[in-house]
Every structure is written in structure tokens, then in C-alpha cells.
Amino acid sequence: MADAASDESLIYFNGIDGITGEYTLPPMSGEKLAGLVTGEAPPENLSELRYRQKKRAGEYLGVREGVDPQKLEESGWGVIFAHDADPAVKEALSDLLALRESEAGAFYHVYEGPDGYRPGESKSKFLARHGAGPGPADPVKVPYYLLIVGSPEAIPYQFQTQLDVQYAVGRIHFNSYQEYANYARSVAAAEKGEVKLSRRAAYFGVAHKDDPATKSTAAKLVDPLYQKHKDFSANGQQWSGDLFLEEQASKKNLARLLGGDLTPALLFTGSHGLELPATDKRQPGQQGALICGDWPGPGSGGIKQTQYFSAEDLTEETNLLGMISFFFACYGGGTPLEDKFFRTAFKDAPEKIAAYPFLAQLPRQMLALPRGGALAAIGHVERAWGYSFLWPGAGAQIVHFESALEALMKGYRVGYALEYFNERYAEIATVLSDELDGIEAGQVYDPYELSSMWTANNDARGYAIIGDPAVRLPVVDAGSGEVRTAIVVKEVTGQSSTDARVEGDALRKDSVESGRGADEAANQGRETVTRSAGEKIDEAMLNLSPVILVPEGYDKEHPELYAAYVEHVKSGYRNNDAVFNRIMQAFMRGHYSSLIMNWLLFIIGIGFFVATGISAFSDAPVSATLVFGGLGTVTFISYFLTRPTQAVEENLHFIAWLGMIYNTYWTHLMWVVDQVTAQEQLDEATREAIERLKELMDRHAQASGDRPGVDEE
């Protein structure tokens, strides 16, 4: 997030480097920010945003007129898998899918296989394939509530964001089948009345010293939300609230709210989110962790693990069953591949902020807890913009936050509650697009107003639901006892074969130590690395060899099969080397043959000239002298015109290039060890090799055609 300084001359951006403890973006003036964003292109779905903005005066909130979004039998529920999704994931979600099918009836739909998401497909193309176009969601064609199952690599964030303009969209992605099963059981338990929570909300607002961003968030967002809702009455039932501000916003107290004695039904937090560079191996496990009040603030050095709350702080005994959380923090929901702000502001140098896009580990872990997980978490994908709720001349504008939380307190489904953010996004995006068009045409503008509009647009667009968008708070009336028992889930082993990255404990258990450089932090503990098969390898071998991926403990349970598998992999590399050697030998045989024939041609030419000289000084007939002289001349003319030595040299070049293409191709294949991206990497390596071979053939043809005496066809 971003915020204005006390003198309103600078805008401070949220985003704290976990290693240095400094802002990842320096404060800047409204004029500078406005200058960076004035060239931004309009959103691809601008027409739909305009339609939604025009309908804002009515009751339109995503679904078509006459459909009750709180009744799944009217609004519908669907799940979207990638076209090549692992069928076992669907099986692990059986508790959830069976529940939603019984509720949605005819408006229940599973998009899988050919009907699922296809690589590179836009939201418009996906909907068109299923008979839906722009405008309000029509459950007859596509259900209003849609759960995406898969990583942001398999189904991109952009698809989710665009789809969320019309529909109520959520996403889940876990590494193991067991985690999918845990979440499915948690939702089923809550929806079936097995969970009963008191109507209690908690508000957690961090305010670091000398940090205008968090101070403003705590004073102008978190505290006002608490004051608004501490005595809120929904459906005749009173809600209570707990407030943790400034020094009370400690990691110890957050732990009490996330599984401890103060665990509420609804949790709202405002803080910095931990940022780590793409080169840091801990990024997938720690990015977006909530920095607590224990950290003194910018300028105090790197952030220690004792100063932030991450997925590692949740244990197998933690029970968050029935909770819905809202994290106002950078990367609290997930991290994209590139920074949208950098892509807009510095168009020639987009910044890749992650090795791959991923969901934040904290909300993922909250949902997948074995004793009972949270139902949903709302978080920001990419940077959160605190300045977005401060409007020049109007002060804090937080009605969309108030409305979303009140909707949840009234028992509305989380996807519907977040429609207030979609409405805000639609309104601001259309106005911002018109403003930028006017500026391009020479219109005078207020830089602070434009900056506010731009950050508000990015903030509203960036929120995402991690979890089923149709879940709702399982609260009970006053006087009824709270019930949050542990769930019982059947054991499911294995992990997804098509859409899971192995994010082991090593990614989550390294702390961010104060004053440590990025390289040192990233390399800590890598002197020896344990493979999933149990084999220990040193760092040098790790950097030179691909990792043979097998289930953990497989080498001990099946030593003979493991040894055979390792030998199979090694033999594959030996066979590949043998194939290349045979190809080289075939080329070299032709090369040597050409070389020998060229030398023979040269020797024969010399021989003819020698014979001509002998004939000229002997009694041989003049005709013989002319014949030998003519043959020698023709031979040398042929030799020098065709320039065989040039052809030989060029063949050596082409053979060397072929070797480099071949070695590059097999090097790529050796390092295809990630099950999620394996097929994509194989396809890319094959395409690259084919392109290089075609280029090599074209160069060979051109070189042959450029030599004298060779006719071009």
C-alpha cells in the first residue's frame, strides 16, 4: 500500500524488503507518480467495466436481475480446473463438490478436461466457449460463483481478475491431495452446521515508528472500521469486536487471533507484507507474511522471524475452522511474475519479482490445516496501495471496506461481499481511462488526484479470494455456545502430478536475519541439501546435476527399484550421448570424404601439369601435350572456382553449431525436474532446437549458394 506523508508532499509506498528493512519503492511526490502512470494503456475489459459502472445506480452486483446471489440453486456454483489437471485433485475435493452439487442442482458445473481452462486463454474466450458473453452473470450459461483450482501458473492471475468483474471468483491451490481434502472437509463442516462461532470480529493495525504508511492505515482504516462495527447489529444479533493497535499489534497477540484463545470469526489486519527478492529461496514460503509491531520500523535493519507472522507459525494443532480473514498487506494474497507498477512506470524494464507466480503461503496454510482450516482469506495479489483510501479534498474513503465486512457479518457469501471492491474498480477504472485519454490530448490535470485515482484503481483490482467464493461465516445467535471442534478427514497420500511445486519445509523454516545480504540469506544452509529420495549431495553437485525426484523415503522402501530408476536415468543420458556421437560420425564421414576428394582433385591437377611439362620437353605428340595441359587447366579452374577449402571450413563451423544446439537441447531436458512446468519446458526446448536447426539449415543453404560455381535453385 501507499500513503501520504504528514505534510502531504510525498507518497509513501508499502512494501518492506525483508533483508534490508527499507522501503522497496522510495517515497515520491504526486507529480512524479502521475508522470509515471500517464502513459498507461486502458484495461482489456474496459467495456465491461463501463457497463458495470453505468449500472451502479441500480441493484446490479454481478449477477443478473431476479437471481438471489445467496441461493446457490439460483445463482449457481462451478469449479474450473486446468485442461490437464490431475484427476486425483478432484477426488480429494469430493466433500466440497458433493456439497455444492446438492445445493446448486441444475446450476452446478465442473469445467475440466476439454471444458477446462486452456493455456493462454482469455476470460472472454473461456466464457464464449461456454455460451456466455459480457454483462451480468447468467447462471443458465455459467454459474455466478466460480472456484478456480490450480496455481497462477496453470491458470493466470489475469484470467481470475478479469473473470471477477462479472462473477464471484475464488481460488485454491495446494501441493498435496491431503491439503485439498482438509479444506474440502472444513468447508463441508461449516456449511452443514457442524461449526458454530460467536459473532466476534478482531481488528489488528500495525503502526511503526517513522512509518507514515502503517500509521495512516492504523488511524484511518483499521481503527475507523473497529469503531464502525464494534456495536454492529446484523439480523437483530449483536457483534462484538477486539482492537489491537500500535504496540498491541504484536506477533504474540496475532498468534492469539490465529488459533489462540482470541480466535475470532472475522479477522481484519492492516500491516506491511514481507517482501523478498526472486533470488531468495524462501520467497514462496515467506512472501506476504504479516510484519507485526515488534519490528521498530524503516531504518532499524532487517526483519527477524520473531517480528513477523508467517505460515511457519501455524502448527498442526492450530484450528481456524470457520474463520474468514482480510489481510490488507502487500502480497498478502499472492505474488505475480512481474510488478504491475514497474511494468507501467518503467515500460522498457519490467521487473520480474518472482521465479513464478504463486499464492501466499500463509492463507494457503490457514485453509489447509488438518484440525480445521479457515474458510477463506481475502488478500492482495502484488502491492497493496494504502494511499488508495485517501482522496484529495475528501479524506479517508473506506465505505467499500465497511460494506464488504458488514456483508460478511450479515451472513452473505464472501464472493458477493467482495463485489463492493469490484464496483469501486469498475468506477475508478473507467474514470481513470477517460482521464488518461484527456491527458494524452493535452488536458490539464491535478497530479495528486490522478495519483489517488491510479493507486485506488490498482488497489481495488488487486484483491483476491483464496478459498471457495460461496462460503459464509458460520455464526450463531447470542446465548448459543461456540462450537469449533476438530474435523476428521480420511488420509490421502501423494501430491498433484500436474500442478504442484515442491515447497518443502526448507522454504518456510529459514528466518530473515537482521543485517544479512540477500545472497547470504538465500544460500544459508545449502552446504548440504537432502534430496526427496534421501540422498545427500554437496552444493557443487547440486549446481551441476539435475535432481532426481522421487517420493520421500522411496529409496529406503524400494532400494532395488530406486537403484534401477537411477540407472535408467543415467543410461538415458549415455544413450543421448551415443546418439549425438553417431550423428557427429555421420557428418564427419562426409566431411572426410569431401576433404579426401578435394585433395585428390588438387593432386590430379598437379599431375596433369607435370605431365604437360614432360610432354612439352619430350618427343610426345603435340596433341598429348595439349590434352594434359587442358585437363590440368580445367582441374585447377574447377578447384579454385568451387573453393572446396571454403566448403570444408564452413562444414566445420556448421558441425560445431550443430553440437552447440544439441548440447543446449539436452541440457534443458536434464534440468526439467519440476512436475508443474515439465511439459511447458519440454515444448519450449523442442521449439527452440527446431528453430535453431532451421536457422542452421538456412545459413548452410545461403553459404552454399554464395560460393561460385554453385547454381541456386
Is 101's pLDDT higher than 80? yes
Share of the chain above pLDDT 90, in %: 40
428 and 337 in contact (C-beta within 8 Å)? no
DSSP strands (E only) in 216-368? 233-234, 237-238, 240-245, 266-270, 274-275, 290-291, 308-309, 324-328, 334-335, 358-359
Mean pLDDT of 442-452: 68
Mean pLDDT of 639-652: 57
Is 511's pLDDT higher than 60? no
pLDDT higher for 388 or 222? 222
Neighbours of 651 (CB within 10 A): 18
Is 704's pLDDT higher than 80? no
Name the most confidently modeled range: 8-17, 31-40, 619-628: 8-17
Mean pLDDT of 29-56: 51
Is 96's pLDDT higher than 90? yes
pLDDT higher for 351 or 212? 212
How far apart, in Å, do the first and last CA atoms of the chain sit?
A: 64
Share of the chain above pLDDT 70, in %: 63
Helical axes 399-409 vs 419-440, angle rounded to 10°: 160
pLDDT tens track for 663-702: 777 666 666 655 556 677 777 777 777 777 777 777 766 7
Least confident of 41-45, 96-100, 104-108: 41-45
Name the most confidently modeled range: 52-61, 200-209, 299-308: 200-209
Domain ranges of the chain: 2-33+40-193+207-467, 559-706
CA-angle at 203, arms to 201 and 206, nearest 5°? 165
145 and 166 in contact (C-beta within 8 Å)? no
pTM more than 0.85: no
Residue 173 burial by CB count (10 A; 0-12/13-18/19+): exposed, middle or buried? buried
CA-angle at 471, arms to 467 and 477, nearest 5°? 140
Is 159's pLDDT higher than 60? yes
C-alpha cell at 333: 494474497
pLDDT higher for 246 or 49? 246
Least confident of 309-313, 437-441, 639-643: 639-643
- Rg, the chain, Cα only: 33
Helical axes 46-54 vs 419-440, angle rounded to 10°: 110
pLDDT higher for 659 or 392? 659
pLDDT tens track for 341-375: 654 544 445 578 899 999 999 999 999 999 999 99
Is 273's pLDDT higher than 90? yes
C-alpha cell at 268: 481484519
3-state helix/strand/coil string of 610-639: HHHHHHHCCCCCHHHHHHHHHHHHHHHHHH
Which pLDDT score, from 0 to 100, does residue 306 have?
Answer: 95
The β-bridge relationship of strands 528-530 and 200-205 is unpaired
pLDDT higher for 537 or 192? 192
Least confident of 241-245, 502-506, 556-560, 636-640: 502-506
Least confident of 93-97, 270-274, 544-548, 567-571: 544-548
The half-sphere exposure of 548 on its side-chain side, counting CA atoms within 13 A, is 19
What does the buried/exposed string (b/e) look like for 302-337 if buried means 16 or more CB atoms within 10 Å of the residue's CB? bbebebbbbbbbbeeebbbbbbbbbbbbbbbbbbbb
Which pLDDT score, from 0 to 100, does residue 59 have?
Answer: 45
pLDDT tens track for 113-154: 999 999 999 999 999 999 998 888 999 999 999 999 999 999
Is 334's pLDDT higher than 90? yes
For residue 45, what pLDDT band results from cuts at 50, 70 and 90? very low
**Separation of CA 93 from chain center:** 22
For residue 81, what pLDDT band results from cuts at 50, 70 and 90? very high
Mean pLDDT of the chain: 77
